[in-house]
Amino acid sequence: MTNSKPLPSFGLALAPIAVMFLLLAIGYGALGLRIEVLLLISAAFTGFIAWKMGYNWDDIIGAIVEKLAKAMPVILILVSVGGLIASWMVSGTIPYMVYWGLKVISPEYILIAAFFVTSVVSVCTGTSWGSAGTVGVALMGVAAGLDVSLAAAAGAVVSGAYFGDKISPLSDSTNFAPVVSGTTLYEHIQHMLYTTLPGFVIAATVFFFAGQSADVAGVSEPEKVVEILAGLESLYNLNIVLIIPPVMILWGALTKKPVLPLMLAASAIAIALGMLLQGFSLQQGFQAYVDGFNLSMFEANGHEVSGIIPDVAKLLNRGGLFSMMSTILLVFCAFSFAGILSLTGALNVVLGRFLHLIHSTGQLIASTVIATITVVFTTSDGKLALLIPGELFQNAYRKMGLDTKNLSRTIEDAGTIIEPLVPWTAAGIYMAGTLGVATLDYLPWAIQCYTGVIFALIYGFTGFGIAKAKPESTDNTELQTVATPTK
């Protein structure tokens, strides 16, 4: 939508951004109020400013619709991710991967095993919380049984969990970052490898050598791992053909196939495998796809589940289209605020003021890192840490001739995986509570989670790994002159 009104003054442009930060810092951070309502209040305040500037209701609602229209592809993907995870539970695909992940653990290399296993599960499922809360918990039991440092083990689990959260096409943050930055999913994932793979190598090296110091001679396999393996064996027909759906997703990512049709096809195949190998009906498959998979579905097929330990239920009870609705609601509320803010041109005014201080790619990357980490610390919300800098810096990257996939990579490096290192964020609280180790205790060992920022800054100031904008993506018509705003 073209902005036909004079731009606001710097103070007026900064007001909605300041109000949003204040509401989130106090309302969400201190009082624990629902973030969706706070975003809608922020949107209402911004709408009032737009009205004072001369925009009418049709202009305002049109800006919101235009912003949401751009987000619709990722919204559809996010919904499909929920269904995909549930269908992979029906087929036994995720349980199969977890089963073999636990089977191949060598007590002599518990830290590197914890890192690798959690990484694989997280990449295949796209959920850092899910992988940490399932195999991560089991791996912490392994570490406890081997008398290995629990802080180091928790750091390995968190590192692996967020490795997958950064690059898995099933991760909501991996899908969210490119849409708020103006790039595509696969371009984002490929560009993330510049910072993610070096961090992976460093983390793997540290965990490999650190694990050698543990005294593991003669230690048998922990009881919890044995119980999880026995539970999965009793419930599923574990067959190698169950890897077909993730192989399809991997093949599609490498060949850049359309994401949504690929996910739907992988889900359909998974449900078919569930019918053929696990004895589920088509109705059960569809029910799981929509509502989420539940251990009770085995009871309907005559399986005895009373003896299954809670960790197995925690692993299996997940997914479904409805499981993504809270994330979709957050997207709608956040983009309502962002749409009105874009209409007023406020971001251009604020950006223009700060652009006077930015004269190099390194300074732009560093500013993005600082802004993203600031949002994480003040709002305790990883998705806002993607949304706000993504909206604020997008045109700055275009103006400097940089591809916006540099922006999507940087906000993930400084937002998504920094979140579990902050004790008062939801991710920090979850990881500490789930793994039984304080956030600041596992922080030094969560190597994957902070090396991304280091490499992002190195690349920014050296120019290595920085993508230039393609000729067709350098249109700066949205970046308006900010030198003479309305007083």
Q: Which residues pair with 402 in a beta bridge?
A: 468
pLDDT of residue 380: 60
Q: Answer whether residue 85 is part of any domain.
A: yes
Q: Decide if 364 is inside a domain.
A: no
Tell whether 177 is covered by a domain.
yes
Backbone φ and ψ for 182, nearest 5 degrees, come out as 85, 35
Q: How high is the pLDDT of residue 269?
A: 95
Compute CA distances 180 → 93, 118, 252, 264, whole Å: 31, 28, 23, 24
Supply the range of the domain harboring residue 223: 74-324
Q: How many domains does the chain have?
A: 1
pLDDT of amino acid 288: 92
Residue 394 lies inside a defined structural domain of this protein: no
Q: What gap in Å lies between CA 55 and CA 255, rounded to an integer?
A: 45
pTM given for the model: 0.66
**Taking the CB of residue 307, how many other CB atoms lie within 10 A of it?**
9
DSSP states of 173-206 as a string?
Answer: HHHHHHHHHT--HHHHHHHHHHHHHHHHHHHHHH
Angle at 201 between CA 196 and CA 207, to 5 degrees: 120
Write down the pLDDT at residue 141: 67
Q: Which of 133, 145, 147, 138 is nearest to 114 (CA)?
A: 138
Residue 377 covered by a domain: no
Domain assignment present for residue 282? The answer is yes
Amino acid at 387: L
Determine, yes or no, domain membership for 188: yes
Q: How far is CA 153 from CA 27, 113, 132, 139, 434, in A?
A: 35, 10, 11, 8, 13
**Is 93 part of any domain?**
yes
Digit-by-digit pLDDT tens for the chain (487 residues) are 555 677 888 888 888 888 888 887 788 777 878 878 888 998 999 999 999 888 999 999 998 898 888 778 767 877 887 888 889 889 998 888 778 867 776 667 888 988 988 898 888 777 787 778 667 776 776 676 566 788 999 999 999 999 987 888 878 788 888 888 888 888 888 898 999 999 999 999 999 888 765 554 444 456 767 787 888 888 899 989 998 988 887 787 667 678 788 889 999 999 999 999 999 999 999 999 999 898 888 888 777 777 777 777 877 887 788 877 877 787 788 778 878 887 888 776 776 677 677 888 888 999 899 888 877 776 666 777 788 788 778 888 888 888 888 999 999 989 888 988 887 677 787 788 778 888 889 999 999 999 999 999 999 999 898 888 776 544 443 333 333 333 3
Given its phi and psi angles, is residue 486 left (phi above 0), alpha (psi -120 to 50 degrees) or beta? beta
